[in-house]
Amino acid sequence: MSKSMKRVEEALKAAGLAVEIKALGDARTAQMAADVAGCHLDQIAKSIIFRGEASGEAILFLTAGGNRVDDAKASAVAGEALGKADAALIRAQTGFAIGGVAPVGHLNPIRAFLDPRLLEFPTIWAAAGTPHHIFEMPSAELPRITGAKQANFTA
């Protein structure tokens, strides 16, 4: 098990959640992940990270698999202009590689916002710290374990 995946598993256990991590195989899109998980596309929690132009920090937007983050709405929610976060910033802030950013287990605290669409399902699936692994969890627990604030930032 990778260090990143172990960190996610430990964060989930510390939050009182026992989950099973599932291998994705060659799945590279939210739809492919949903197919592997056997769930609705919008049950896939995508971790989209931007760089705050004023703060220079990574900002996490957890969004439903079928939704897109609207740049203007996301900037308004974050309270600052947003730019593209590069791999180095994402790795430094979260400890994860692009494509494997989990909602928990980050190396450093991160400001996070949550797409309310994810809470419309009993469970959601999210990256488990690698681009090739996911886990299922109760959606109602997502705000508690991530500290993410619900906001309207999708197109």
State pLDDT tens for residues 16-53. 999 999 999 888 899 999 999 999 999 999 999 999 99
CATH number where 53 lies: 3.90.960.10
User: Does a structural domain hold residue 134?
Assistant: yes
User: Does a structural domain hold residue 155?
Assistant: no
User: Does a structural domain hold residue 100?
Assistant: yes
pLDDT of residue 25: 85
Mean pLDDT along residues 96-111: 95
Copy the structure tokens of residue 83: 């730019």
Range of the domain at 25: 3-150
Q: How many helices (H) and strands (E) does the chain have?
A: 5, 8
Half-sphere exposure of 19 (CA within 13 A, CB side): 29
When the pLDDT of each residue in the chain is averaged and rounded to a whole number, the result is 96
Domains in the chain, number: 1
Which pTM was predicted? 0.95
